[in-house]
Every structure is written in structure tokens, then in C-alpha cells.
């Protein structure tokens, strides 16, 4: 039986999603929990790999399992074996042909800026603290310029496995929520570090975005924002 698992996790203690020998990762923790409750758990696929320190509110995984508890008890059984920083929100049967990555239509991310004049211990590793004033109108205009089909090679490392750099952004906007200023984006797919590089560039020079999304070099864009402000919010199918 193929299951669809929806997860949320605090990425702080993990070296990203993908399993790496001798390092704590979200995938390794999930694989161990699956092995504990199923006689077989194969073909585990994730909707989007997250980097070290990046969080998820709605990560999606597909996995083929045999044996184990009834489907309605799978989430509770996995949560009893996962570390506190990872929770399975739901476990449902997958439709025929479902693939967590290839079946996805879009993915939505949120990047959180904490803009209070003083830092907060409760925001540590949960957002990027920036106390200096930000031009929110300029940020809004920059985000609006991301919508549509663009070449985002300026927002991924020069040394890359990507062969194509054009992505389609369905939605991009900055939203003020009290002391937080959140950048939210939905796109068909992303380049490595794309969202964090967009945020870093918009914070530094929002007016540069229209030129940069025309396939400029990485060296022309701004710094990459730190990972701990980034959240994978949802995956749409």
C-alpha cells in the first residue's frame, strides 16, 4: 500500500532532509520510525528537500509499506517513534500513480523576518531578525515583479546541478503580521537556495529584481538569507 504522509518539523537539529551517513536528518528519522512499525517501507519520496535548518509546516512524503498498524493509527504510531521535532500530521492512502515529487503542481514557502527593535529568544532559529527599517512598499513591488515565468539563475549557486533555470511563480508577496514581515511564494518548482537568495536580494536592493530575473549572473544578486527563517508551507497536487 502506498501512503501519503504530511509532516511538520523544526529543522534546527537536522542537517536537512536528505539522509547522510552519520548525520541527523529528517529523512533518517522518518525511515527509522517507518522501519519500527512496518515489515517493509520502500520507495520513500519527498515533495521537496529542505536544507540544514529549514523548517516545514506541510511537507509531503509518499512511501510503499507492508504490514504495520491500520491506516488510521499510522500517524500516532510514527509520532510515538519520531523525535519531538518531527510530527506526522496525517497518513492517507495514495491514489494510483501518486508520486510525492512528480505529482506536485506547486509548492509554497514562507520566509519570516522578525523586525522588532530588540531580539527575542522565542524567535531564535525561527526567523531572521532585522531591526533596521525596511521599505515595505519597495519590497511589495519587488515581489510583484517575480510573478510569471522568469529565469532565476541569479538566485542559485553558480556551481549547480540544475540544467534549466526558468520557473513559473504563481504568487509572491510580503505580508506584515505584527512584528513579523513574511515573504510568501508559490511556484511550480524551485532552484537550490532560490527563495533565500530572493529574500536576501530584496532586503538589500529590492529595485534590482526586475533586471535580475532576466537570467543575470549569481554575482549580480544579493546575499543568501539564513536558512532558519524559511518554511515549506504546503504542496499542491
Distance CA 204, CA 206 (A): 6
Query: Taking a C-beta distance cutoff of 8 angstroms, is the pair 103, 237 a contact?
Result: yes
84 is catalytic: no
224: closest CA among 2, 52, 38? 52
From first CA to last CA, the distance across the chain in angstroms is 19
Instruction: Give phi and psi for 94, each to the nearest 5.
Output: -85, 145
Q: Which of 36, 51, 151, 179 is catalytic?
A: 51
- Our CA angle for 54, 59, 65, nearest 5°, is 130
189: closest CA among 130, 131, 114, 106? 106
State the catalytic residues.
51
Amino acid at each position: 500500500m502506498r501512503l501519503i504522509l504530511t509532516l511538520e518539523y523544526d529543522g534546527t537539529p537536522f542537517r536537512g532532509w536528505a539522509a547522510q551517513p552519520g548525520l541527523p536528518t529528517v529523512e533518517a528519522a522518518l525511515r527509522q520510525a517507518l522501519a519500527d512499525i512496518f515489515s517493509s517501507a520502500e520507495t520513500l519520496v519527498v515533495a521537496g528537500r529542505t536544507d540544514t535548518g529549514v523548517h516545514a509546516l506541510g511537507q509531503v512524503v509518499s512511501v510503499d509499506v507492508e504490514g504495520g498498524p491500520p491506516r488510521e493509527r499510522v500517524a500516532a504510531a510514527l509520532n510515538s517513534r519520531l523525535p519531538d521535532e518531527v510530527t506526522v500530521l496525517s497518513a492517507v492512502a495514495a491514489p494510483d500513480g501518486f508520486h510525492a515529487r512528480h505529482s506536485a503542481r506547486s509548492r509554497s514557502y514562507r520566509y519570516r523576518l522578525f523586525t522588532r527593535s530588540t531580539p527575542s529568544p522565542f524567535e531564535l532559529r525561527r526567523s531572521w531578525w532585522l531591526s533596521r527599517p525596511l521599505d515595505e512598499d519597495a519590497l511589495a513591488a519587488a515581489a510583484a515583479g517575480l510573478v510569471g515565468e522568469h529565469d532565476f539563475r541569479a538566485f542559485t549557486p553558480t556551481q549547480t546541478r540544475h540544467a534549466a533555470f526558468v520557473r513559473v511563480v504563481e504568487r509572491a508577496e510580503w505580508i506584515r503580521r505584527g512584528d513579523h514581515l513574511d515573504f510568501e511564494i508559490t511556484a511550480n518548482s524551485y532552484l537550490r537556495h532560490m527563495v533565500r537568495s530572493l529574500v536576501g536580494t530584496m532586503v538589500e536592493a529590492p529595485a534590482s529584481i526586475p533586471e535580475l530575473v532576466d537570467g543575470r549572473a549569481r554575482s549580480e544578486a544579493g546575499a543568501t538569507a539564513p536558512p532558519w527563517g524559511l518554511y515549506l508551507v504546503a504542496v499542491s497536487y
